[in-house]
Amino acid sequence: MTDPAPRTLARRDVRTLLLAALGGALEFYDFIIFVFFAATIAELFFPPDLPEWLRQLQTFGIFAAGYLARPLGGIVMAHFGDRVGRKRMFMLSVLLMAVPTLLMGLLPTYASIGIAAPLLLLVLRLLQGAAVGGEVPGAWVFVAEHVPPSRVGLACGTLTAGLTLGILIGSLVASGIKSAWSHQAVLDGAWRIPFVLGGVFGLLAVWLRRFLHETPVFEALRERRALVEGLPLRQVLGGHRQAVAVSMLLTWLLTAGIVVVILMTPTLVQNLFAIPAAVAARANSAATLALCAGCIVYGLAADRFGVRRVLVIGAAVLAGATAVLYLGLRSAPHQIMGLYAAAGFCVGVVGVVPTAMVQAFPAAIRYSGISFAYNVAYAISGGLTPLAVAFWLRSEPNAAVYYVAAACAVGAAAAGWRRRLKPA
């Protein structure tokens, strides 16, 4: 990875990491808070005479639209990130997330403006998806290019931990709102609070990012007049297809860890092992917090022992921890807190995935390369993973374990394959 001069991790680097992680947490909170209020939104933004299943389907369709918008938003923002600067897109992405979130909290419902309500909600959700599509790869590139090459693992791990923390904050805020107000009070207006807070905090993140500096790597490219000409994506697809393929396979590992172990498991353990919803939710919070710590620890390990070795070993450990979680709950469901927290920590290997991506692409097209590979792969695997696991569960009670194991095997193979990539 190109860096203007060898150096140690400075105070400004730490400040950059903390501000980037904080902004990432707030932005992911804005993106994920929608799902925690999906049932409420279904009641308020669609005709009351619709069947309940159809309202829920339409609501989750709007939620899914945010994921479909990720690749397009990511590719467009990455194009300008490689051409005009990382910082500008880093600020634009959080602004593009904060404003729609704030507007969601102020949006009139179906009772006030009719069919325009869900249509406006869809537009705002598409803007959110475009924003997060640019934020995640852009944030990885931004922090990685600010620190010395020997600390890229820590930088990407810390940023990924911040993104994960946003999911936990969203869960806790939603639980707090629903505990403090009755269902009718939430419908009457309390549901707006987390969206308005998210918008305000997002605008605060925009202000905080004003104090960040352009990355030294991009500045060096600009000074040497080595910025990419034409379409960066064309160069990515023309000369770095192997790096794209490896990055997409590693994204499947990331998706399996996050979607199956963190997002789907609370519901799965309720159905498979009759664990109460409140217990599963508390255990999930512990697992998500452990994941934040795991991202940082695995990032440090990648800096110390090498990205390839940590990815291979970490993928094997994640597959084993997932098996221990599900098999252990079958015989001892009361141990869910410890088992789930341990599995959550092992999911932290996903914090090393962005480091591998950063190292796979040359600096001049790094943002575009990561953005294309990650967003396209996440849109595909993120959409298919819940369907695949749910369908497989009809005939195999250990489907979640086998699915994660398969993704881990592919991720480990991709990590071995990346050794043959040209150094960035």
Distance in angstroms (rounded) separating the CA atoms of residues 389 and 73: 28
Retrieve residue 277's tokens: 């919803």
Say how many residues make up the chain.
Answer: 424
- The tens place of each residue's pLDDT in the chain, 424 residues long, gives 444 444 566 778 788 888 888 888 887 888 888 878 877 888 898 888 777 667 666 766 776 677 778 888 899 999 888 988 888 888 888 888 899 999 999 999 999 999 899 999 989 988 988 888 888 899 999 999 989 989 999 999 999 999 999 989 988 998 899 889 998 999 999 999 999 999 998 888 888 888 888 888 888 888 888 788 888 899 999 989 999 999 999 999 999 999 899 988 988 898 899 999 889 989 999 999 999 999 999 999 999 999 999 999 999 999 999 999 999 999 999 999 999 999 999 999 999 999 999 999 999 999 999 999 999 998 888 778 888 888 898 899 999 999 999 999 999 999 988 665 554 4
The tokens of 327 are what?
């098999």
Task: Output the pLDDT for position 5.
Answer: 46
Q: What are phi and psi of 188, to 5 degrees?
A: -75, -15
- Exposed, middle or buried: residue 181 (CB in 10 Å: 0-12, 13-18, 19+)? middle
- Please enumerate in sequence order all residues whose Cβ is within 8 A of that of 345, keeping only pairs 6 or more positions apart, or say none: 287, 290, 291, 293, 294, 297, 321
Tokens of 414: 């991709």
Whole-angstrom Cα distance, residue 192 to residue 40? 10
DSSP 391: H
Nearest Cα residue to 281 out of 48, 36, 72:
36
The rounded Cα 250 to chain-centroid distance in angstroms is: 14
User: Which amino acid appears at position 222 of this protein?
Assistant: R
For the chain, the maximum distance between any two Cα atoms, rounded to a whole number of angstroms, is 65
Kindly report the pTM of this predicted structure: 0.88
First to last CA, the chain: 5
Of 377, 409, 369, which is closest to residue 144 (Cα–Cα)? 369
Nearest CA-CA partner of 363 in 232, 253, 195? 232
Give me the CATH topology for the region 232-424. Answer: Growth Hormone; Chain: A; (1.20.1250)
| pLDDT score of 423 | 45
Task: Let me know if the fold of 8-227 is the same as that of 232-424.
Answer: yes
Q: Where are the beta strands (DSSP E) in 361-418?
A: none
Cβ–Cβ contacts within 10 Å for residue 223, how many?
A: 9
Distance CA(81)–CA(63), nearest Å, equals 27
The domain locations on the chain are 8-227, 232-424
Q: How far is CA 337 from the centre of its chain?
A: 24
d(CA 288, CA 293): 9
Spatial distance between the Cα atoms of 352 and 298, rounded to a whole number of angstroms: 7
Give the whole-angstrom CA distance, residue 374 versus residue 254.
10
Domain 8-227: assigned CATH number: 1.20.1250.20
Residue 182's identity, in one-letter code, is: S
Strand, coil or helix: 267:
helix
Helix axes of 353-360 and 116-144: crossing angle, nearest 10 degrees:
70
* Structure tokens, 250: 């590693």
Q: What share of the chain is helix, strand, coil (3-state, %, to 5)?
A: 85, 0, 15
- Closest to 401 (Cα-Cα) out of 278, 264, 292, 279: 264
**DSSP character for 85?**
-
Burial class (CB in 10 A: 0-12, 13-18, 19+), 302: buried
**Torsion (CA) 188, 190, 193, 196 in degrees, nearest 10:** -10
Helix 232-239, helix 52-83: angle, nearest 10? 90
